[in-house]
Structure 1
């Protein structure tokens, strides 16, 4: 099609046409009011055409439209007459066009817009300070693969900003983010960012001034080189809330011990593909919340004994493709919970008796990634040279210490006896300990002072797709009857925030809900994405110290099928319920569930778990 006649949609007036796709045609221009009869349309796709100009009057009277896709057209001008948009768009995609400038009137009237994609507009070089001021609810803007040289925005509601592959971005602007205090996610990958610029050193300022709410920052594929505490251009001091930092492929060869001193809440640190030869002893000690460290493809030759001294929550450590020859057991024994995943592949490891401890740890606290690529170096014991680490049989190649093994065996036997005795009398001991604690410190039920009106959402129900029928027929009607005050509810993935990354949307809803109900079934616990949702909820329980999550077992799950996360939840004594087909049991079930949903208790470990 090369054009759309003005009366083309007259027969559809008043009809429930929800989605209209005119993509991949030859439309060069649109007529005013051409879509005025499509009052019920929610998504309009005009991508891959040859449209050169967009006016608000083209979409006049489209009351229900929420998503407008104009990808890969020849659009040079949007709203050149400075008219006001009169539609309730929430998502607008203008990627792959020929835009050159965005004025303060371009999006005038689009107050409900939350997602704006303008990537791959290579002629877009200038953004005025007022370019997006009319977008009162905008949360995500993608300006990747443009050539923006002047950047100074004022968008108080903005949460996510993508500026990937903007090679001229920092040639003129020194501190472009000072007005974006609500920004949560910032991606500056491939922006030719450099470590030091004299003007910033003299002014003693940071590129990230103002980003007090930022949790995710991606600086990968920039020529950073080294990070010094005096390099104001890359000072992370303003980023006190940062949780994820990516510095991949940045040619970093040196890290000052205090380079990340302000990032006390950092959980994910990615330093993959750099030139780091040695990590300062104290550089990771401030990261008490760290769970993921990626040091793949660097030049590390040595890991200090106290390097992971404060990383008790670390679950993933990637050390592949470095130059590590020896590993100290004392270095790794400080790493956090059991089943920590570690990648040591493609390192020139010297497999000798000093390394025999690693084989024991691999089958215990460690889970070794890329086992087949973890090869012993030529400097290893002769039978192990160029062989996989798992070919190392320490019993055969290393001599025994009879005295040590005898004492160890006796200690183990003594320990087993003690454990058996404790297990045999466990209920009596727990009861006595409970009475002792109750007599010494007492017990007060601690409730969270906030109620459901203090949260963005009243209730969030998380379930597996196959369990949706049970949830809608059994759970939802009863909760609506018993809890009429809960009006702002999120029911499954359909009610998540549109336009947001899936996991970020899950995290957003969980953290802003008064109560979260998780429906557990045999199919659900085998689904990886569902377990990621459960992990997200558990992390927030741990962070907030509030029991706002209720687990509901809608069917009996055998013990051997219950995953580690569900076992961890139950072992912490968190609230949970079992669904039963008995009528009286169902009445008790909903009474208990209603009670759990109307209060939030603070976590209290004084009462022993059953």
Structure 2
């Protein structure tokens, strides 16, 4: 009896263990081998210092039952490479617990629909350094999401629906240096939640709904260590003295595309390490003090009436599309290190600079109120200038008084310019590159979209050399062959969208310029068309390529339509005789058609008459037959009556 009880107890213990082993063995068969469905390859790391085993699983890979990430099987890694895995666009809604692997350093779950996750999903990947959940449906976080990932350095939670962060959500992330919370639903800066991130350097909170910037009121060592802070695309209205912590380490501050109206005078002076400031696309009207360490200032698309006082180390200034009407005070500003100056889109009428700008290589004066080319533009004042923009000004006459060396000159959209006069660009010379002493000294000119420009005089480019000429979208009808050395245009000439008068005066374009442009840059010929005479209107000049005769100088030419709305030219050899024979053929056809019509009418009339005669004869015959039948019946009745009598 005791033996039976012992056996029964033995089977009760062994049976569940066997069942578990069977289940485990079945589990092995259901494992998803990643490299059988996804792309696995060895590629250089982002830094290019070593190879990594890259696993790319995307929406193009049809993987069944992929919702459970604990069912995946990591590929064999005999070389011990670090692993970077991406599970993108797979429609995942729940993040499962990943199987163990100490080689995994990068995980990306972007472009899914993850809303929930298992507790501690990354416990078994302890060396994870980079993690991305961008473009998912996460609405909230819990402390059990980031447990045992102490080595994590970069975390991307952008483009989710996170509205608030708990102080304990990031409590295990002591080594994170970069945190991206762009495009979420945050209404304030989560200062308490960021407190555990002691090494945080890069924080992106752009495109949320943040409306207050009062970081000084909170004691946080984490905020003082941030070097790059992005708050663009929020609802911030003002910057005050309490906006930033004292003695912070912010080097790059982006507050663009907010609704900032007020910047207090000394509010930015606490940013003692600030190098780049972006306040573009706000409503700032009054100037403010800038930190002495500032090098890049982007203040475009505001309502500034006056110049801020820039520090001496400034290298980049963008004040475009404000309301400036005058230049800065040269006695109070030092621009010795300035390299780029953009003041386009303002209301400046006069540009008169006396002090030398030794390092400036890009100057933008476009879309102001300059009536003439500024006389202060010279190589003496701008010895390093390479790019000059004068687009969209009401300039009526072009003349550079002083010699200036450039690489690119932009003078588009000059709506009041009608004629480019003699010697207009004679004082503009090319600037050779520093990398080659033998490089050709030429410059590129962009004189396009000037609707009133009808003529360029022959000596406009005397004593200068062009690399590229763009005079497209003007109202030019003719061009001189000796205007410039066309063979020196190494980058081509854009003559498109002009109403060229295709006469013998422009024959040189077909002989010299067209073959050169066809070989160098044929795309500049697609809209090079004739505007007159009427016979050639809309004709592309490229159709005369390799034409043996002087096409524009010959009167004996005719056109016939070609495929795809083009025209083909063919030489006329018959002259007036061809026109005469065509007229005779057309007249003969008309006469023949009239004769056929008359014959058809006569035939129809005669046929109708015969039909009427035949129809009348048939009617008489039918009537006679009917009368004869009636008379025979009457006679038979009479004979029958006589016989009975």
Normalization by structure 2: what TM-score?
Answer: 0.52
| One of 455, 458, 464 as aligned partner of 1:302 | 455
Are 2:201 and 1:42 equivalent residues in the alignment? yes
- For CA contacts below 8 A with separation 6 or more, give which structure has more relative contact order: 1
> Which moved further from structure 2: 64-73 or 154-163?
64-73
- Matched with 2:529 is 375
Query: For residue 563 of structure 1, what is the aligned residue in structure 2?
Result: none
Aligned pairs (5 A) from 1:334-413: 336-338=488-490, 340-359=491-510, 360-364=512-516, 367=521, 369-379=523-533, 382=535, 384-392=536-544, 394-397=547-550
Which one of the candidate residues 269, 290, 309 is aligned to 2:409? 269
CA drift at 1:344: 0.8
Instruction: String of CA shifts for 1:316-349, please: whole Å, max 9, x gaps.
Output: 21111223222222223266254x3111112222
Match of 1:332 in 2: 484
Matched, 1:182 2:337: yes
Q: Distance in 1 between matches of 2:515 and 2:201?
A: 54
In 1, the alpha carbon distance for the partners of 2:252 and 2:280 equals 14
Aligned equivalents of 1:294, 1:179: Cα separation in 2 = 32
Query: What is the CA deviation profile of residues 348-375 of structure 1, one whole-angstrom value per residue up to 9, with x for unaligned ones?
Result: 2222334233223322266465423211
- CA separation in 1, counterparts of 2:195 and 2:322? 38
The CA distance in 1 between the partners of 2:552 and 2:367, in whole Å, is 49
- Please say if residues 207 and 235 of structure 1, whose CA atoms lie closer than 8 Å, have aligned partners that are also in contact: no
Change (3 A) 1:109 1:34: farther
2 CA distance for matches of 1:185 and 1:224? Answer: 20
Residue 302 of structure 1: CA displacement? 3.0
1:139 aligns with 2:300: no
Partners in 1 of 2:360 and 2:328 — Cα distance? 20
Question: 2:516, 2:243 → 1: CA distance?
Answer: 67
SS for the counterpart of 1:363 is helix
1:220 is the counterpart of 2:377? no
Q: Distance in 2 between matches of 1:190 and 1:243?
A: 20
Q: Distance in 2 between matches of 1:87 and 1:291?
A: 46
Shift in Å at residue 8 of structure 1? 4.2
Computing the radius of gyration over CA atoms, which structure comes out larger, 1 or 2? 2
Once the two structures are superposed, residues 237-280 of structure 1 have per-residue CA deviations (whole angstroms, 9 ceiling, x without a partner) of: 7334321111112222122341xx25x22111111111322224
CA contact (8 A) 2:530 2:538 kept: yes
1:255 is paired with a residue of what secondary structure? coil
Q: Distance in 1 between matches of 2:194 and 2:364?
A: 41
CA contact (8 A) 1:272 1:297 kept: yes
For 2:385, the equivalent position in structure 1 comes to 242
**What is the distance in 1 between the residues matched to 2:252 and 2:182?**
17
Structure 1 unaligned spans of 5+: 197-205, 401-610
- Aligned 1:504-523 pairs, distance under 5 A: none
Q: Relative to structure 1, is the Cα distance of residues 285 and 160 closer, same or farther in structure 2, using a 3 angstrom cutoff?
A: same
CA RMSD of aligned residues (A): 3.4
Give, in whole Å, the separation in 1 of the partners of 2:444 and 2:220: 47
**Offset at residue 87 of structure 1 (A):** 4.1
More deviation, 179-188/389-398: 389-398
Over residues 195-243 of structure 1, what are the superposed CA-to-partner deviations in whole Å (9 max), with x where a residue is unaligned? 48xxxxxxxxx257564422111122223233364xx8x9997334321
Aligned length: 374
User: Residues of 1 paired with 2:477 and 2:254: CA distance?
Assistant: 51
Q: CA contact under 8 A between 2:448 and 2:474: conserved in structure 1?
A: yes
State the shift of 1:308 in Å. Answer: 2.9
| Aligned match of 1:53 | 213
Separation (CA, whole Å) in 1 of partners of 2:453 and 2:349: 23
Q: Give the structure-1-normalised TM-score.
A: 0.54
Matched residue, 2:57: none
Map 1:159-198 onto structure 2 (within 5 A): 159-167=315-323, 169-170=324-325, 178-195=333-350
Provide the residue aligned with 2:180 in structure 1: 20
Query: How far apart, in 2, do the equivalents of 1:398 and 1:78 lie?
Result: 70
Q: Give the counterpart of 2:430 among 288, 311, 314.
A: 288
Write the distance in 2 (CA, Å) between the matches of 1:278 and 1:82: 55
1:110 and 2:264 correspond: no
